[in-house]
Amino acid sequence: MIRAKDFLSATDLSKKTSATLDALAKDDAGRLIIMKNNAPKAVLLSMESYEAMEQEIEDLRLTALTLARLDSFDEKKALRHNDIKEKYGV
């Protein structure tokens, strides 16, 4: 849910950068939508929010890759674990 306090003008950001960054790090949402001329122009994220977003994107990428591989999996072409161990002397 986007709240009124999630918005900040570019002018206010330039005047209160340090205080804004401190508040952003403490905020549960961890994001601010930066407005310029009454239009959204950018999103400012806390490091915690950014890292969580990056992790979620990576999880989704790996899930999509797994599903694609499962969809094209051919058991007849698969190698058994013991065959791999034997081939590579493990």
Domain residue ranges in the chain? 4-72
Contact 53, 43 (CB under 8 A): no
- Cα–Cα dist 45/53, whole Å: 10
Give the CATH superfamily of 4-72: YefM-like domain (3.40.1620.10)
pLDDT at 77: 87
Contact 46, 52 (CB under 8 A): no
User: CA end-to-end span of the chain, whole Å?
Assistant: 53
Please give the chain's pLDDT, 90 residues, in tens.
777 788 999 999 999 999 999 888 887 668 899 999 999 999 999 999 999 999 999 999 999 999 999 999 988 888 899 989 998 987
- Cα–Cα dist 15/13, whole Å: 5
